[in-house]
Structure 1
């Protein structure tokens, strides 16, 4: 929160009151009270003066007093530093986490209506009205797809991570290994992943667990050889797919990997949703970010996918890419609109620590936060103009303009897996290198995260341990 206003400032914790003669800026915060209401104040002492903010609250709207204390402390800091610096750090107020819609669902769970929820977000979290309306609308749209915890202990989703890509993109920080350097790992990795799919699938069957959605991600799953991809999809159908499976997604990602053979393999395996991710439809940008495909490749892949007959196509774009402006995003969205996918996912560029972009920023000028916000607005208008509605949202650190990523869909074509993954109300089991599992306790909603090793060699070596860990967790959640 402090770094939103004072980026990179060094922080240390002081005990007791602020020193009267300190030449170093000091921030004091105090919150007291209980279930009936809280009172708190924050004071920022600097060479420019003392900047204070105080506030009283009534009974907690969520009923969680400890969380309310933390929320009020953040809110006090937000307004004290806003006054001291004169900065407006973005539209999300005190939300710094990945999943702002989770707060909305808690409010809706307690009986708040749309208007009350928006009011609380603006008043108690300093969220701007437009974003409060956005996430409230998204949460309400998700509600029919999110069973109450007590009603879904017998239902899970499965993520299968393929950690290989043709090349590594400039902005990427995911645990993806380029095939140019790591092709020798693919065959042993595939063999071990098949064993994990089989072992976990047999355990799911033993516990009578339904799999609602299956998601092949990465990496780029379609960068595998056609026969390896076919083998994995066949195993997923044999061991994971159940009568309750409503969605099967494959991240095609790079259009240059989507040969007609691979598309037919996916369609023949019953894949219902395919992602083809151009990120931009500007040739010069594709070269800068290292995509190794052309705009024409995107058109070819979409046409072939339509001819093969996938029910849902998703396309990803990124706003804020190096060298792009609003006109470039408008051009990209015109292309996307003409291709008419059922889903569009809009990402705001995040400068991630593990990316090449961070090391090469001097060579790649980025848009300002204001420019990124204008680009984001272009994508929103194009999605709305195509009849799409926003259905899921998440945020990341170091995003341009302190913005967000939003998934849009034609009504009724929302990606179930994306909703379950972000809202964390259903167990999601991660298979493959770098895959994360989210074990949700259906009795109280508590969550345990577990991760497979990112390195394929480490994943291969530790497979027996990883399978045992999942078997133990499956027994516990049932």
Structure 2
């Protein structure tokens, strides 16, 4: 098993302390282990007195180590980052030596958006070769991961907004926090329709009110909407009548949403194939939706039943062909690698089945053991594949998508992801999902509406941002809708065209 810094808990980090004082205390837990309080290692870092170096004392299980390393020179404004990077490099080195295990493929990069580092370097005028060297030498990435990062970012660059355009164009996210059932691995704030059916109407009324108010404010600020993404939960868990009312409100109050499906990007997550009947598809098509996400996760019926999804592989095929017949020409499909009980043979069979459908996008996720999921609560009851097996699954996905003519266009990572790997979105050339790029790279304001929806308020001058969130619980959202709308309108009024 490879070492990873993903589960590092930084309990103290105070740069520029006096000589001899503690700068950082780190605690490490075993990667992918059954939840436990046992620490793999602890480390304490001290400023090295008069010398520009860090001194670290490590306690790794029953072994101890002491390490000194010079602090690299650099501008004062970069000092904190240099210290952090050095601390991580020292930690990785000691853990490798003491445990005899190799470093993970992502080295010392621990955040969910590693692409943002590459974006920043290219913004600063770095040559791609210099970026690769830094990723490999300073951040300790495996060369294959460094090349993947650069490839994804270079594909994204032409699709990112300029600073001036980012002041004018926003995207809209609508969160529908209802699902037919809750999946084993899911921690998303979704509520099962059978138990909460009476709450859907009150939620929908509140959401329609939020759409109207936000739509008016957006138009008053002379802003434009680049993409709309309706996610959840499972938006198509709503009835066809409820979907019609929701989408009609969007069309009336955000009139710049494309009506013909020929321009703009309007996505609906039809995540559960069993919710995508002909009537719902026709409602979506008539409303101008031009991109669907149909998410089987696996094409193995035994796994689907195991993880709590009440549909079959045959249902996925029916929904896909039905969507094509209605006229949808841009379809994404999601799969999850590392599901309980699955092997690389199962993954290969799933991907081969989807390849025959020829979707425009394929999103390949690695199972992450999420804190609030039933999988985490019942972790000892489930058999998950070893990290080496998950890596082989990921390699199969790379081979299949390449054979389909697809290219990687967005990437992100998650805490507690199996094998310390990554999620990758693939697309046919020219069919990249703009919303996925914008939400990952955080180069555009995204206004979230509905239950649990997050908003990203981006300052295009320096690409800093503020995140705000709607209440997760549907009833809490309904009860607080006036407050939610007021705060959001005030934020939108601050998005003055031409202002930083």
TM-score (norm 1): 0.92
Q: Which residue of 2 aligns with 1:300?
A: 318
Does 2:121 align with 1:103? Answer: no
Cα distance in structure 2, aligned partners of 1:466 and 1:6: 34
SS of the residue aligned with 2:207? helix
Q: Decide whether the 8 Å contact of 1:99 with 1:393 is kept in 2.
A: yes
Relative to structure 1, the CA distance from residue 264 to residue 243 in structure 2 (aligned partners, 3 Å threshold; closer, same or farther) is closer
Return the match for 2:81 from 67, 78, 87.
67
Question: Within 5 Å, which residues of 2 pair with 1:327-346?
Answer: 327-346=345-364
Return the match for 1:237 from 251, 260, 264.
251
Question: Within 5 Å, which residues of 2 pair with 1:278-289?
Answer: 278-289=296-307
Cα distance in structure 2, aligned partners of 1:395 and 1:240: 33
Q: Which residue of 2 aligns with 1:139?
A: 153
Return the match for 1:259 from 270, 277, 302.
277
Cα distance in structure 1, aligned partners of 2:321 and 2:129: 43
Cα distance in structure 1, aligned partners of 2:55 and 2:325: 62
SS of the residue aligned with 2:195? helix
> Deviation at 1:353?
1.3
- Count how many residue pairs are aligned between Structure 1 and Structure 2: 466
Cα distance in structure 1, aligned partners of 2:233 and 2:170: 23
Return the match for 1:48 from 53, 63, 75.
63
Q: Decide whether the 8 Å contact of 1:319 with 1:376 is kept in 2.
A: yes
Does 2:407 align with 1:389? Answer: yes
Does 2:43 align with 1:27? Answer: yes
Return the match for 2:238 from 224, 228, 243.
224
Alignment RMSD, CA only? 2.5
Cα distance in structure 1, aligned partners of 2:404 and 2:428: 8
> Deviation at 1:429?
0.4
Give a deviation string over 1:167-225, Cα, whole Å, max 9, x none. 00111100000011111100111111011011000100000101000000000000101
Does 2:134 align with 1:116? Answer: no
Does 2:416 align with 1:402? Answer: no
Q: Decide whether the 8 Å contact of 2:251 with 2:257 is kept in 1.
A: no
Q: Which residue of 2 aligns with 1:200?
A: 214
TM-score (norm 2): 0.88
> Deviation at 1:52?
2.4
> Deviation at 1:11?
6.9
Question: Within 5 Å, which residues of 2 pair with 1:302-321?
Answer: 302-321=320-339
Give a deviation string over 1:290-322, Cα, whole Å, max 9, x none. 110001100000000011111210000000000
Relative to structure 1, the CA distance from residue 190 to residue 427 in structure 2 (aligned partners, 3 Å threshold; closer, same or farther) is same
> Runs of 5+ in structure 2 lacking a partner?
15-19, 24-39
Q: Which residue of 2 aligns with 1:77?
A: 91
Q: Which residue of 1 aligns with 2:397?
A: 379
Q: Decide whether the 8 Å contact of 1:352 with 1:398 is kept in 2.
A: yes
Cα distance in structure 2, aligned partners of 1:410 and 1:370: 29
Does 2:486 align with 1:468? Answer: yes
Deviates more, 1:40-49 or 1:181-190: 40-49
Relative to structure 1, the CA distance from residue 184 to residue 26 in structure 2 (aligned partners, 3 Å threshold; closer, same or farther) is closer
Relative to structure 1, the CA distance from residue 373 to residue 262 in structure 2 (aligned partners, 3 Å threshold; closer, same or farther) is same
SS of the residue aligned with 2:225? strand
SS of the residue aligned with 2:494? helix
Q: Decide whether the 8 Å contact of 1:429 with 1:436 is kept in 2.
A: yes
Q: Which residue of 1 aligns with 2:37?
A: none
Relative to structure 1, the CA distance from residue 32 to residue 200 in structure 2 (aligned partners, 3 Å threshold; closer, same or farther) is farther
Q: Decide whether the 8 Å contact of 1:51 with 1:83 is kept in 2.
A: no
> Runs of 5+ in structure 1 lacking a partner?
19-23
Does 2:290 align with 1:272? Answer: yes
> Deviation at 1:96?
1.1
Cα distance in structure 1, aligned partners of 2:42 and 2:368: 30
Q: Which residue of 1 aligns with 2:228?
A: 214
Give a deviation string over 1:140-191, Cα, whole Å, max 9, x none. 1000111232442011000000000000011110000001111110011111
